[in-house]
Structure 1
């Protein structure tokens, strides 16, 4: 029997924003393909889709599986949510580590989008990209992650213009403080990072870096639940004329105001104060 529900693919669906999005859309009677690494990670009520966004064979297989199910109706929505967090000083970040975050957060999103665009074109569907409020204002030691989100935002902006003529709308969501399992992963990654700092530079970076992580992760833990993002994803998929960009989550309005109206030097001073970064030059 042919499935008459609208179909949507959500990547990075095992935890956090992705999982909340799958659950919310399933409740609203979407047929949700949940992109996960293991079938058992897929939320109840969804169709598991084995999908590591860095593996071309899995991306191609996922697109074929979805095509076989949806047929000529095509795909009504794609939610590009998969991503990883990373904090490192720019001077010290291992280049392979930087390449990995760009591979997942940028290249992987493009690869998935390319694979599903033919099905989206059939349905005149929607693409919702989960970015970050940090795509316009990086925090100290958050450069690698911020760079990946800024690149993703720019690609999303280009894509929005390129596929508009096909009837496909592209929406970027920029979450601010959201409390997900990613907080613990970032903290664990930061602990490993300090161990990898070169001994001759560890004294310069270790304490301010640890302080930034403590402050930033405390703000994330006090942030909004991922369900608030899921609600906006559903809105972006359903509204006749969605906005090109939504900011969502605790502190989103405040941070947007700072980025838009506060001079860059004042922003720098504010961030240094928030993250307790002191002058380390010492006497000349």
Structure 2
């Protein structure tokens, strides 16, 4: 390897790092150039299936895609609920198809697939947006295996079920698959259930993206930061209710005062989140329509992005220590 003049006699590891950074920056520049090429995607006659359209990102995305001219299959857990009714009020029956879908049910997945096949527009199914998800927080010892299974079944296995069912239709049209992950796939504290489902989803998508590339199908991951106020994905839990739900062994270790402090900490963090859902929806729309979409869209605050980058680059022990100090300061503030 030829040495870089201004590095002088620096060690070979430093030169490798610099080369890596330079090639990385060059790759980013080329990628941005390719993504800015104007290729018009006509939404007319193209359908997108979105799971979890009752509220949050899914509901807002359905409204956006309808306004763009897509045919939207809005999968709702409660097809007669407020979210579904709001969609019906702003769309014609030809543009919008509301269907009942519990992503934990193999039977409902099959019924949804048949319904979609029977009502596809002329250009077929262009996009699948796996948005349905639930959240649950708490230290590992506070949780039961039933709670782990419940969240896994929705967030991870639910997305896998819909992917297995609808991949043939997406592949036929060389379309897009979009998955809602989270920065918690990287950074986790008192939300092990949610974090492990998102980390699992990331690795599933990494395999799927490479497998689908040969068919012209793009697989994209959306990684939002803290958007709890915008989605209400994490219900507030009273300290007393949380204490009552703890296993007997946990009550011997954690005091009621600790439970109260933890509840207040989580409440403050959730309430400090971003309220602008449109930022995440913008990223999903780009993933569905851009000529060369990103593999990952990190939609987060500057502080959250820095935290993710530090997690990826720093030794784990050092990163853990930084988080420990930061949380102690936050608690004492």
Structure 1 and Structure 2 fold alike (TM over 0.5): yes
Q: Cα–Cα, structure 1 residues 79 and 239, in superposed 2: closer, same or farther, change >3 Å?
A: same
2:54 aligned counterpart, secondary structure: coil
CA distance in structure 1 between the partners assigned to 2:213 and 2:313 by the alignment? 31
The answer to whether residue 90 in structure 2 is matched with residue 50 in structure 1 is no
The answer for the alignment partner of 2:34 in structure 1 is none
Residue among 176, 193, 210 paired with 1:161: 210
The answer for the alignment partner of 1:280 in structure 2 is none
Residue among 258, 268, 279 paired with 2:320: 268
Does 173-182 or 116-125 show the bigger shift? Answer: 173-182
Larger relative contact order, structure 1 or 2 (CA cutoff 8 Å, min sep 6): 1
Does 104-113 or 34-43 show the bigger shift? Answer: 34-43
The answer for the alignment partner of 2:77 in structure 1 is 37
CA distance in structure 1 between the partners assigned to 2:198 and 2:135 by the alignment? 10
Does 197-206 or 160-169 show the bigger shift? Answer: 197-206
Residue among 222, 226, 229 paired with 1:173: 222
> How many residues are treated as equivalent by the alignment?
274
CA RMSD in angstroms comes to 2.4
- Using the TM superposition, give the Cα deviation of residue 47 of structure 1 relative to its aligned residue in structure 2, in angstroms: 2.1
- Structure number with larger C-alpha Rg: 2
The answer to whether residue 126 in structure 2 is matched with residue 86 in structure 1 is no
Q: Cα–Cα, structure 1 residues 18 and 71, in superposed 2: closer, same or farther, change >3 Å?
A: closer
1:220 aligned counterpart, secondary structure: helix
- Using the TM superposition, give the Cα deviation of residue 119 of structure 1 relative to its aligned residue in structure 2, in angstroms: 1.0
Q: Cα–Cα, structure 1 residues 9 and 189, in superposed 2: closer, same or farther, change >3 Å?
A: farther
CA distance in structure 2 between the partners assigned to 1:267 and 1:94 by the alignment? 28
- Using the TM superposition, give the Cα deviation of residue 74 of structure 1 relative to its aligned residue in structure 2, in angstroms: 2.4
Residue among 53, 63, 67 paired with 2:117: 67
Residue among 43, 51, 60 paired with 1:20: 60
- Using the TM superposition, give the Cα deviation of residue 189 of structure 1 relative to its aligned residue in structure 2, in angstroms: 8.1
Q: Report Cα offsets for 1:30-57 as digits up to 9, x if no partner.
A: 1111110222332423321111100111
Q: Report Cα offsets for 1:100-158 as digits up to 9, x if no partner.
A: 1111111111001111111111211100000011111211x211111111111110111
1:34 aligned counterpart, secondary structure: strand
- Using the TM superposition, give the Cα deviation of residue 191 of structure 1 relative to its aligned residue in structure 2, in angstroms: 5.8
- What is the TM-score when the length of structure 2 is the normalising length? 0.75
Uncovered stretches (5+) of structure 2, i.e. residues with no partner: 1-42
Matched-pair contact (CA < 8 Å) for 1:130–1:173: yes
Alignment of 1:244-255 (within 5 A): 244-250=295-301, 251-255=303-307
Q: Cα–Cα, structure 1 residues 161 and 192, in superposed 2: closer, same or farther, change >3 Å?
A: farther
- Using the TM superposition, give the Cα deviation of residue 190 of structure 1 relative to its aligned residue in structure 2, in angstroms: 7.2
CA distance in structure 2 between the partners assigned to 1:212 and 1:246 by the alignment? 30
Matched-pair contact (CA < 8 Å) for 1:208–1:276: no
- Using the TM superposition, give the Cα deviation of residue 20 of structure 1 relative to its aligned residue in structure 2, in angstroms: 1.6
CA distance in structure 2 between the partners assigned to 1:260 and 1:39 by the alignment? 41
- Using the TM superposition, give the Cα deviation of residue 253 of structure 1 relative to its aligned residue in structure 2, in angstroms: 1.9
The answer for the alignment partner of 1:259 in structure 2 is 311
Q: Cα–Cα, structure 1 residues 135 and 173, in superposed 2: closer, same or farther, change >3 Å?
A: same
Matched-pair contact (CA < 8 Å) for 1:11–1:80: yes
1:13 aligned counterpart, secondary structure: coil
Residue among 238, 241, 246 paired with 2:292: 241
CA distance in structure 1 between the partners assigned to 2:264 and 2:208 by the alignment? 36
- What is the TM-score when the length of structure 1 is the normalising length? 0.88
The answer to whether residue 250 in structure 2 is matched with residue 198 in structure 1 is no
- Using the TM superposition, give the Cα deviation of residue 70 of structure 1 relative to its aligned residue in structure 2, in angstroms: 1.3
